[in-house]
Amino acid sequence: MTHRPVLASLLLSAVVGLTPLGAQVAQPVGQGIVDGEPFAPRVEAAIEVGGERLPLMVTLMPAGPLFSLDQIVELLGGELSVGPLAQSHELEVGDTSFRFGPTTSVLTVGQDIFELSQTPVGTIVFDEEGEEQPGTLMVPLDLLEMTWTEVTNQHFSWVRGERLLLVGEARLRNLPLTVDVVHLQGVSTVVLQFPARPRYRVEQEPGRIAVRVLGDRIEAPSSVARTNEGLLAGMSFSSQEIAIGMKPGAGSESYELSNPYRLVFDIFPGGESTAASRPLAPPRRTRIPTIVIDPGHGGGDDGAHGDGLLEKNLTLRLARLLQNKLQTALPVRVVLTRDEDADLPLDTRSALANQLKAELFVSLHLNSSFGTSAAGAETYFLSLEASDERAQLAAEEANRGSSSGDPLSDLQLILWDMGQSRHLAESQRLANLIQEELNAALGMRNRGVKQAPFSVLMGAAMPAVLVELGFMSNAAEVERLQDPLYQNQLAEALTKALVRYRSAQFQARIGGGPEVTQ
C-alpha cells in the first residue's frame, strides 16, 4: 500500500499531547533499551527549515536520536510507500529510491548496501476501535543524510542542547584521500582513507569498481604504488570518482572501518568463475538479511514435465517472480542459486546459501506421480527419517543429482550438530507457514508438511525448506501452472508466508508478538 503523509499540523500534534484523527500513539516497536526500559520517551523537539521552526517528533535512543520520517517527508518532499505488515519502507527522493525497514540496520539503493548507525524503529497507533495500526517510522540522522543530502544536497545537523534539527544546504567538502595497497596470500586489499565519512556509492561491474563521491570533492593522492600487482589492474582518480581495475575472474567484498574512516576492498580470485558464484559477495559487515531461492533442476536435468512444460523452466520463472516480490515486500537481498538454464550440483546450492550467510533457503520444485490424480502442494524440511513412504521416494528421486555420497551418513553428521538441530525447528515453522498460505490463498489440496532426507537441504546453516508447488503428472494442475496469473498467485502466497515468518521472528527477538504455528 502507499502511505501518504497527512497534514503536518496533524502529525505534529502528537508531540504536544493531542490525538490526531482520534488515534492514540502507542509505544514504538523495534529495538533499544534505556535504563532497563524498552525505549526512551519522546521528547519535545523542533526542526528548522528555511528559517521556519516547527515541532518535531523525536525519540532518544542510546545510539542517538530518531526522527519521525512522516514529518520529514511532509516538510522536505518525497514519496513514502509502506509494504505488508509495515516491514519494508520505500522512499523516493527525486529519481532515487531507497529501501529500509524496522527489522534491519541497513539501507539499500538498487544493489548498493549501506550500514546505518542504528535500526529504524516502527511505532503503532490505536484507532478509534482500539485496533493496532502502523504508525510512523523513526529513523536515525544518517538515514536522512544518505537520502535527501545525497539527492537534494540538504544537510542535517542535530543541536543536542536545543533539541533542534537544522536543515540547510550542504557545504561542499574537500576530502584528502590516502590510498594503501596490500597483496597477501592471493588477496589484494585496497584501503581508501578519508578524514571524514564521504557521501558515496559503490558501483561494480566485471573488472571494475567505481566509488562515486556525491556532494563532496576528492583530493587525490599524487601517486599510489603497487596498483598493477596481484589482482589489481590499475587505479585512477578524479574529484568525484575512484576507479579500481580488477584482473579477469576477480571478485570483491567491501567494508568500512572507523577512527579514522576507511573504505576497504578485498579483491580475491574466482569471483566470476561460475554461474553459481556470480551473485556472491555482498559488502561485508552489513546486516541486510539475505534469502536464497533455489529454482530446482536446470541444464541437462529437466525435472518433471507435462504437456510440454518442463519443471526446470517453471521453477526458474517462479523463483524470479518470488525474488521481485520479496525485495518489494521486505528490506532483504534475494539471490537465486541459478538465474539461467544451467547445471548446478545439489551440494553447491546449499553451499552458496552458506557462503552468503543467508537467513533462509527455499528450494522450489514441481511434483510428479505414476498416477494422474495426485494434486496439491507439499512442503518438506530436513530429517534423517522420512515422514512416510511417499516422502522417502521423493527424496531418493531428488537426491540422484547429489555428489555427497551416502545422504543418510551425511545427514546423521548434520543432525548431531546442535546448531543444525535449532535450524530444523525453525525449518518446520517456516514449512508450516508456507503450507498454510498455499492452502488458504489458492485452495490447493493440503498434502501437508513432511520430512525427508533431501540432499539439497543438507548442510544448510539456516532454516531450509523444499516446496513442491503442484503435480506435473496432473493435466488440470499443469494447465493452471501454465497460467501467468496463477504463477503470480503462487509467488504471492510464498511471499506472504516468508513475510509472516520474518515478522514473527523479529517479534520473538524483541519479546512478545505473535507466535508461529508449530
Pick the last residue of a domain from 216, 236, 268: 268
**SS (HEC) of 129-176:** CCCEEEEEEEEEHHHHHHHHHHHHCEEEEEECCCCEEEEEECCCEEEE
Within this chain, do residues 257 and 308 fall inside the same structural domain, yes or no?
Answer: no
Four-CA torsion 379, 288, 489, 471, nearest 10 degrees:
-30
Residue 298 and residue 437 in one domain: yes
In a domain, 503, yes or no: yes
- Three-state SS string across 264-310, please? EEEEECCCCCCCCCCCCCCCCCCCCCEEEEEECCECCECCCEECCEE
- Whether residues 145 and 180 fall in one domain: no
* Confidence class for position 354, pLDDT limits 50, 70, 90: confident
pLDDT tens digits for 242-261?
999 999 988 888 877 766 78
Cα–Cα distance, 266 to 85 (Å, whole number): 37
Taking 60 as the threshold, does the pLDDT of residue 508 lie above it?
Answer: no
| Boundaries of domain holding 65 | 8-169
Question: For residue 55, what is the domain's CATH number?
Answer: 3.30.457.10
Q: Domain check: are 360 and 387 in the same one?
A: yes
Residues 122 and 192 in one domain: no
Q: Are residues 73 and 212 in the same domain?
A: no
- Domain boundary among the residues 238, 268, 298 is at 268
The predicted model gives 443-452 an average pLDDT of 75
Q: Are residues 177 and 156 in the same domain?
A: no
H or E stretch covering 318: helix 311-329
- Specify the CATH number for the domain of residue 180: 2.60.40.3470
Range 347-373 average pLDDT: 82
Give the domain-ending residue among 235, 268, 301.
268
Q: What would the mean pLDDT of 355-378 be, rounded to a whole number?
A: 84
The CATH number of whichever domain residue 473 belongs to comes to 3.40.630.40
Mean pLDDT along residues 178-206: 83
Pick from 33, 54, 58: nearest CA to 43: 58
In this prediction, residue 89 has a pLDDT band, given cuts at 50, 70 and 90, of confident
Residue for grid cell 528421486: 397
Q: What is the mean pLDDT of residues 465-475?
A: 90
Q: What is d(CA 92, CA 322) in angstroms, rounded to the nearest whole number?
A: 23
Statement to judge: residues 329 and 344 lie in one domain: yes
Contacts of 160 (CB under 8 A, 6+ apart): none
Interatomic CA distance for residues 124 and 136, integer angstroms = 7
- pLDDT grade, residue 421 (50/70/90)? low
Other beta carbons less than 10 A from residue 130's beta carbon:
7
CB proximity list for 345: less than 8 A, separation 6 or greater: 401, 402, 403
Query: Which pLDDT band holds residue 277 (cuts at 50, 70, 90)?
Result: very low
Q: Report residue 493 as a C-alpha cell.
A: 502466497
Backbone angles phi, psi at 231, to 5 degrees: -95, 5
What does the longest C-alpha to C-alpha distance in the chain come to?
Answer: 76
Any domain includes 3: no
Do 368 and 477 share a structural domain? yes
| Sequence-ordered list of residues with C-beta below 8 angstroms from that of 400, at least 6 positions apart, any chain | none
Of residues 272 and 76, more confidently modeled: 76
Convert the pLDDT of each residue in 286-330 to its tens digit. 446 889 999 999 999 898 888 889 999 999 999 999 999 998 888
Report the mean per-residue pLDDT for the chain.
76
Q: Which residue has the cell 550542504?
A: 170
* Domains contained in the chain, number: 3
Q: Among 79-88, 190-199, 316-325, 352-361, where is mean pLDDT lowest? A: 79-88
pTM above 0.75, yes or no: no
Which of 3-17, 143-157, 295-309 comes out lowest in average pLDDT?
A: 3-17
Strands 42-49 and 52-61, how do they pair? antiparallel
* One domain, residues 183 and 159: no
CA angle 353/358/359 to nearest 5° reads 135
Pair (161, 89) in one structural domain: yes
